[in-house]
Structure formats: structure tokens, C-alpha cells
């Protein structure tokens, strides 16, 4: 009977865990929908900025003078790694941490590396590795306001324009669908002309337009805006991928709990039947002995 009691306690524990995983799946599904909608709302704006920038930039002879297009000898690199603040999201964080570790080891051989940790998981990772963190940023999951992302991006852009860093790379999980994310190692700065999406074959459609005050002024205003939007998009992509990964992980955990409950109930019934049979044999043996 003691064994049966232990199995009942285990069944009760698994049921409680299953209720938690179901609730977490529902919460993640709601958050995922909001994150997905945020990406869909941002894309038209981001694409339109690039549609304006690309033909103008490709028609300018002195675009290389723009601070964000300046390519120089790479000595100092800023590595930005984006993870979640919380766990229970499957392999979401481990893939980013693995890629971050690999890239850091490769680049640190010949360059000075500074790191920005976005998310508690990657911040803890750098601390464990004994890597000094240039800046730690938390609470970027959920409904992240653009103004906060803009402030972070502004500091990053300023550090590049002031030549504190010669290259900036971002490692994050790009959202593909609720069950799939792609771990991405992306060069954020400096820019290349072919890195700007351009559906235009040439610059001719802008030949009859008079720019006021000038093409240079417009480009110098739009490029930082485009980079801030790109940084915001990366955070939204990571956020959507996180909630998708957590939703998938909790769904799998719920299924595993179902399987475990089935096995435990089967084992409980077998043990219960064996106990009843044993009691009957003892009663029959006792009666026969009398």
C-alpha cells in the first residue's frame, strides 16, 4: 500500500505540472500573437524607408562619406547578443549562446571585443565565462516601446560614428514561424549599399525631383532612422521567436505529461491488482489453515 500511495502522489504531481504547462502555453500563445502583429505592423514602414534610401544612396557619389558607410581597418568590434530574460523556452537561448561563444572565440584572437548583453540569460553567460560586459540591457521582452529601442540604438550608432568601434555585429534568433527560428549572426555596421533593399533598377525616377534641402541632408536623416527601425525589428524578431519557442516547448511538455500519466496510471492499476490478489491469497490461506 505504501508503494500505491507513492504512485498516487506522483500522479497528482504530474497533473499539477501539466496544468502549469498548459497555462504557460496559453500565456505564450497570447504574447506570441502580439509580437507577431508588431512585426507585421513594422515591416511596411521599414520597407518604405529602404525604398526611399536605396535609389538616392546609389545615385550619390559621396555616399561613402556618410559615417555609417565608412569602412575602416577593423580593430575594435562590438558584439551584441540577444536572448530572453527567462527560461523554459526550449533551445531558444542555447543556440544564441553557442553562436555567441563561437564568434567571440574567433574574433577575440585578432580584435578587441566589447559585448552588449540584451537579456539576463546572455548576461549570466558572459559573467560565467569571465567576459566583461560593456552594457547589460534587460526587460526587452513583451510590448517593448519603440522609444526604448531607439534610445539603445542611438547609443550604439553614436559609438560607431565616434569611431569607438570599427564593426558592430548582432547575434539573435530571427523569427520564421511559431515552431522555427533561425539563429542569425548579422553585421549591423558599417553599411554596404547592397545591404539596403532596393527594388529600383536605377536612379532615373528621382532625376526630375528637386530635393530640399539636399540629398545629403535627407540621407543623413533617413539612414539613422532606418538603422533604429532595423534594431527595433531585431528585438521584435527575437521576442516573437522566444514566445513561439516557449509555446512549442510547453506544448511538448504537456504531451510528455500526458504520456507519463498514462504510464503511471497503468502501473498503478497493475500494482493495485497485485495488492488485491495478494490480500485474497492471504485470506484464502488463512481460512484453509483454520
At residue 229 the predicted structure's pLDDT band, cuts being 50, 70 and 90, is: very high
pLDDT at position 99 over 90:
yes
pLDDT of residue 167: 94
At residue 2 the predicted structure's pLDDT band, cuts being 50, 70 and 90, is: low
On whether residue 258 sits in a domain, the answer given is no
On whether residue 100 sits in a domain, the answer given is yes
On whether residue 152 sits in a domain, the answer given is yes
The answer to whether 248 and 25 are in contact (CB under 8 A) is no
On whether residue 136 sits in a domain, the answer given is yes
At residue 151 the predicted structure's pLDDT band, cuts being 50, 70 and 90, is: very high
pLDDT at position 206 over 70:
no
On whether residue 220 sits in a domain, the answer given is yes
Name the least confident of 17-26, 51-60, 78-87, 100-109.
51-60
Task: Domain count for the chain, please give it.
Answer: 1
Its sign, for the CA torsion 234, 80, 165, 105, is: negative
pLDDT at position 209 over 70:
no
pLDDT at position 198 over 70:
no
Which residue has cell 548582432? 170
Mean per-residue pLDDT for 103-122? 92
3-class SS at 214? coil
For the CA atoms of 171, 172, 175, 180, the dihedral, rounded to the nearest 10 degrees, stands at: 90
On whether residue 279 sits in a domain, the answer given is no
199 alpha carbon, distance to own chain's centre = 29
Compute and round to an integer the Cα radius of gyration of the chain: 28
On whether residue 267 sits in a domain, the answer given is no
pTM of the predicted model over 0.85: no
Question: For position 163, which CATH number holds?
Answer: 3.40.1380.10
pLDDT of residue 83: 94
What residues make up the domain containing 42?
A: 27-194+206-247
On whether residue 13 sits in a domain, the answer given is no
Amino acid at each position: 500500500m505504501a508503494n500505491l500511495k507513492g504512485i498516487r502522489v506522483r500522479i497528482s504531481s504530474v497533473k499539477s505540472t501539466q496544468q502549469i504547462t498548459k497555462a504557460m502555453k496559453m500565456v505564450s500563445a497570447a504574447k506570441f500573437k502580439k509580437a507577431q502583429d508588431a512585426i507585421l505592423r513594422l515591416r511596411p514602414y521599414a520597407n518604405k524607408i529602404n525604398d526611399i534610401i536605396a535609389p538616392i544612396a546609389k545615385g550619390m557619389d559621396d555616399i561613402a562619406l556618410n559615417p555609417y558607410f565608412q569602412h575602416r581597418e577593423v580593430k575594435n568590434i562590438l558584439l551584441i547578443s540577444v536572448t530572453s530574460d527567462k527560461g523554459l523556452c526550449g533551445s531558444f537561448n542555447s543556440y544564441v549562446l553557442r553562436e555567441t561563444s563561437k564568434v567571440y572565440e574567433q574574433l577575440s584572437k585578432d580584435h578587441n571585443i566589447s559585448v552588449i548583453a540584451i537579456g539576463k540569460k546572455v548576461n549570466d553567460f558572459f559573467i560565467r565565462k569571465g567576459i566583461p560586459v560593456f552594457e547589460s540591457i534587460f526587460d526587452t521582452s513583451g510590448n517593448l516601446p519603440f522609444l526604448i529601442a531607439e534610445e539603445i540604438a542611438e547609443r550604439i550608432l553614436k559609438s560607431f560614428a565616434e569611431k569607438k568601434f570599427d564593426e558592430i555585429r548582432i547575434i539573435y534568433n530571427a523569427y520564421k514561424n511559431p515552431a522555427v527560428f533561425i539563429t542569425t549572426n548579422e553585421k549591423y555596421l558599417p553599411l554596404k549599399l547592397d545591404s539596403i533593399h532596393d527594388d529600383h533598377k536605377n536612379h532615373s525616377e528621382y532625376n526630375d525631383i528637386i530635393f530640399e534641402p539636399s540629398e545629403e541632408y535627407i540621407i543623413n536623416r533617413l539612414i539613422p532612422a532606418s538603422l533604429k527601425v532595423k534594431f527595433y525589428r531585431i528585438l521584435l524578431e527575437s521576442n516573437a521567436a522566444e514566445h513561439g519557442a516557449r509555446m512549442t516547448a510547453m506544448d511538448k511538455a504537456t504531451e510528455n505529461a500526458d504520456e507519463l500519466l498514462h504510464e503511471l496510471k497503468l502501473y498503478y492499476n497493475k500494482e493495485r491488482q497485485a495488492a488485491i490478489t495478494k490480500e485474497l491469497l492471504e485470506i484464502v490461506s488463512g481460512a484453509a489453515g483454520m
